[in-house]
């Protein structure tokens, strides 16, 4: 250990060693020289939550779609053009919101309350869980019509199925209780 000048006017004791990377050097400086500030920095970094796609699920009513491989939904607003002749640029007003989505899975004909509940024209209650379905996790819910089903198979692959949905009414966000 050696006493070194860490910052202008600040002295402290730190082990002198060659850092492997700039990131490690900065973290080491935070941990050894600026300990009171380091916990704030690490707390701030931990606020940025990320989630793996494998955490997500989609439910039809209360049943998860079996063999789910992926899903997506899109929310949009249909603008209403209110441009007049004297305007030099287009203007608009907010119109109606809409949402649509899809889910892809390995085909499972035994999934009676998930995949088999999705028939063309069926009205289903969908719940999209991006981070899982445990207490306090966020999810999106809404009623939708099944607008399309695509099934496909390849010689070197599994039989897959895609479901397309068109929302009817609002898509709401809530927390699992």
Pairing of strands 92-93, 80-81: antiparallel
Per-residue pLDDT of the chain (177 residues; tens, 9 = 90+): 444 444 455 555 555 555 556 767 766 766 666 555 545 555 555 556 788 888 889 999 999 999 999 999 999 999 999 999 999 999 999 999 999 999 999 999 999 999 999 999 999 999 999 988 888 899 999 999 999 999 999 999 999 999 999 999 999 999 998
The CA distance from 71 to 79, in Å, is 26
3-state secondary structure of 20: coil
- Tokens standing for residue 84: 């007049």
**Surface-to-core class of residue 133, CB atoms within 10 Å of its CB (0-12 exposed, 13-18 middle, 19+ buried):** middle
Chain-centre distance for alpha carbon 68: 16
Q: How far is CA 148 from CA 84, 115, 162, in A?
A: 39, 13, 8
SS3 content of the chain, % helix, strand, coil (to 5): 15, 40, 40
Parse the chain into domains and list their residue ranges.
2-46, 53-175
Q: What is the pLDDT of residue 135?
A: 85
Please check whether residue 109 is in contact with residue 116, taking contact to mean a CB–CB distance below 8 angstroms: yes
Q: What class does CATH assign to 53-175?
A: mainly beta
Which among 162, 177, 176 is positioned nearest to 100, based on CA atoms?
162
Per-residue pLDDT at 136:
87
Task: Indicate the pTM of the whole model.
Answer: 0.69
Q: What is the pLDDT of residue 148?
A: 98
| 168 Cα distance to chain centroid | 22
């Amino acid at each position: 250990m050696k006493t070194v000048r860490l910052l202008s006017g600040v002295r402290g004791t730190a082990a002198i060693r060659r850092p492997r990377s700039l990131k490690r050097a900065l973290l080491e400086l935070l941990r050894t020289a600026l300990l009171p500030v380091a916990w704030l920095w690490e707390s701030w970094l931990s606020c940025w939550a990320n989630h793996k796609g494998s955490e997500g699920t989609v439910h039809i009513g209360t049943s998860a779609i079996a063999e789910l491989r992926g899903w997506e939904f899109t929310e949009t607003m249909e603008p209403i053009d209110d441009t007049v002749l004297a305007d030099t640029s287009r203007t608009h007003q907010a119109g109606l919101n809409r949402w649509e989505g899809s889910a892809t899975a390995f085909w499972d004909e035994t999934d009676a309350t998930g995949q088999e509940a999705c028939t063309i024209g069926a009205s289903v209650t969908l719940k999209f869980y991006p981070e899982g379905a445990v207490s306090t996790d966020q999810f999106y819910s809404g009623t939708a019509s099944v607008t399309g089903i695509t099934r496909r198979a390849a010689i070197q692959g599994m039989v897959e199925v895609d479901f397309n949905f068109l929302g009817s009414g609002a898509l709401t966000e809530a927390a699992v209780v």
